C-alpha cells in the first residue's frame, strides 16, 4: 500500500478540470493505454496571453490522476513561459510529496505540458513516451531517469555532468543528483569498454554467456524489481533463448510481459548479445 498524502488522495477522488476541450490552443499527449499510463492535456489562452482554461484526460494510478489534476490547477493564470518552468518536483511538492517509486507519474504531467506548449508553437502533434515504471528517476527536478541519462551519455560520448545537463536537463536545478549522474557516466564508459572487448573477442562459450547473463540480471534488472517487491530468477539458457521466472509481486503483475521485453530483454540485448530473446517459464 502506497503512503499517499491527504492532498494526493483528495485530488485522486475529486480531480479538477477533467474532460475534453473543443478547439484547444495546445494539446499534449504522453504514454499509451497499452503501457498502463496515458495523459492528454489541453489548454486555451485568454486575451492576455495567459492560460485561461485547461482540461485533462488520463488513464493511470492514483498518483497519475492526482498529479494531472494538480498540474491543471498550477498552470491556470500563468503565461506559457511561466508554465514551462514547472517541474515534476513542483507537482510532487504541490501534493505534499509522492512515494519515490511513483515520481515517474509526476513526469507524465510535465511531459504532457511541454508537448502541449510545443503543439501550440509549431502545430506539431507528437505522442511522447513515458519512462518505464521500474526506471529510477535520478533528477527529481526535471524527472529525468537513469536510462535516459545513460542513453544520452552513450549516444553522444558525454564525459561531464555539465554536458549531460545540456542534453537532457538532468542536474540543471538543485544539483543534488550530480554525484549519481557522475556514477552513470562512469558506468556507461565501463560498459562500453566491455562491449568493445566482447565484439572484438572470440564468440562466447555457453558457460560464459550464462555467467554474463546472470551478472547483467543481478546488476541491472533485479534491483529495479526488488524496489517494488518483486524479483526474477534465471531458469535456463538455450542458445539465444533466455528462460526466466518472475518472483514476488512481479509474478502476479499484469505488466510482467512489458517488463520482460522492455527491461529484462532490453538490458540483456544491450549488454550481452543483441540476438537474445527472453521468455517466461
In which order are the strands placed within the sheet that holds 37-45? 51-59, 37-45, 26-32, 127-128
> CA-CA distance, 98 to 90, in Å (whole number)?
11
**CATH class (in words) of the domain with range 6-128:** alpha beta
Arithmetic mean of pLDDT over the chain: 85
Give the pLDDT score at 105. Answer: 74
Which pLDDT band, with edges at 50, 70 and 90, does 1 fall under?
low
Give the pLDDT score at 10. Answer: 95
Reported residue count of the chain is 281
Give the pLDDT score at 34. Answer: 46
Who wins on pLDDT, 189 or 211?
A: 211
Asked if residues 102 and 134 have their Cβ atoms less than 8 Å apart, the reply is: no
Outline which parts of the chain fall under CATH 1.10.10.1100: 137-200
Who wins on pLDDT, 21 or 105?
A: 21
Average of pLDDT values for 245-270?
Answer: 86
Outline which parts of the chain fall under CATH 3.30.300.130: 206-280
Give the pLDDT score at 110. Answer: 82
Helical axes 103-122 vs 62-75, angle rounded to 10°: 40
Nearest Cα neighbor of 41 from 130, 109, 103, 121 is 109
Give the pLDDT score at 228. Answer: 76
**CATH class (in words) of the domain with range 206-280:** alpha beta
> CA-CA distance, 279 to 277, in Å (whole number)?
7
Sign of CA dihedral 99, 223, 232, 261: positive
17: region left, alpha or beta (phi > 0 left; psi from -120 to 50 alpha):
left
Q: Which three cell numbers stand for residue 109?
A: 504531467
Average of pLDDT values for 168-183?
Answer: 86
Give the pLDDT score at 204. Answer: 79
> CA-CA distance, 214 to 48, in Å (whole number)?
59
156 has pLDDT over 80: no
The tens digit of pLDDT for each residue in 28-86 reads 988 755 445 688 999 999 999 999 999 999 887 888 899 999 999 999 999 999 998 88
Fold held by 137-200: Arc Repressor Mutant, subunit A (1.10.10)
Residue listed under C-alpha cell 494531472: 68
> CA-CA distance, 108 to 64, in Å (whole number)?
7
Outline which parts of the chain fall under CATH 3.90.1010.10: 6-128
Q: How open is the CA angle 78-81-87, to the nearest 5 degrees?
A: 85
231 has pLDDT over 80: yes
**Positions marked active-site:** 35, 105
Give the pLDDT score at 35. Answer: 47
Amino acid at each position: 500500500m502506497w503512503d499517499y498524502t491527504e492532498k494526493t488522495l483528495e485530488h485522486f477522488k475529486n480531480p479538477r478540470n477533467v474532460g475534453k476541450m473543443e478547439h484547444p490552443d495546445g494539446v499534449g499527449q504522453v504514454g499509451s493505454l497499452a503501457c498502463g499510463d496515458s495523459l492528454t492535456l489541453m489548454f486555451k489562452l485568454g486575451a492576455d496571453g495567459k492560460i485561461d482554461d485547461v482540461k485533462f484526460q488520463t488513464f493511470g494510478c492514483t498518483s497519475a490522476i492526482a498529479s494531472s489534476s494538480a498540474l491543471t490547477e498550477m498552470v491556470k493564470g500563468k503565461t506559457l513561459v511561466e508554465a514551462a518552468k514547472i517541474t515534476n518536483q513542483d507537482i510532487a511538492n504541490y501534493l505534499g510529496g509522492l512515494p519515490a517509486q511513483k515520481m515517474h507519474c509526476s513526469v507524465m504531467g510535465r511531459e504532457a505540458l511541454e508537448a502541449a506548449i510545443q503543439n501550440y508553437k509549431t502545430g506539431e502533434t507528437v505522442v511522447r513516451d513515458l519512462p518505464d515504471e521500474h526506471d529510477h528517476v535520478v533528477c527529481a527536478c526535471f524527472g529525468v531517469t537513469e536510462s535516459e541519462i545513460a542513453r544520452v551519455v552513450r549516444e553522444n560520448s558525454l564525459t561531464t555532468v555539465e554536458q549531460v545537463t545540456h542534453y537532457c536537463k538532468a542536474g540543471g536545478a538543485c544539483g543534488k543528483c550530480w554525484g549519481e549522474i557522475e556514477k552513470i557516466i562512469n558506468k556507461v564508459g565501463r560498459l562500453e569498454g566491455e562491449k568493445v572487448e566482447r565484439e572484438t573477442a572470440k564468440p562466447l562459450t555457453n558457460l560464459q554467456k550464462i555467467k554474463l547473463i546472470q551478472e547483467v540480471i543481478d546488476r541491472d534488472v533485479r534491483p529495479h524489481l526488488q524496489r517494488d517487491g518483486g524479483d526474477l530468477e534465471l531458469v535456463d539458457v538455450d542458445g539465444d533463448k533466455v528462460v526466466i521466472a518472475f518472483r514476488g509481486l512481479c509474478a502476479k503483475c499484469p505488466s510482467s510481459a512489458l517488463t520482460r521485453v522492455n527491461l529484462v530483454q532490453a538490458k540483456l540485448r544491450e549488454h550481452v548479445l543483441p540476438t537474445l530473446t527472453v521468455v517466461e517459464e
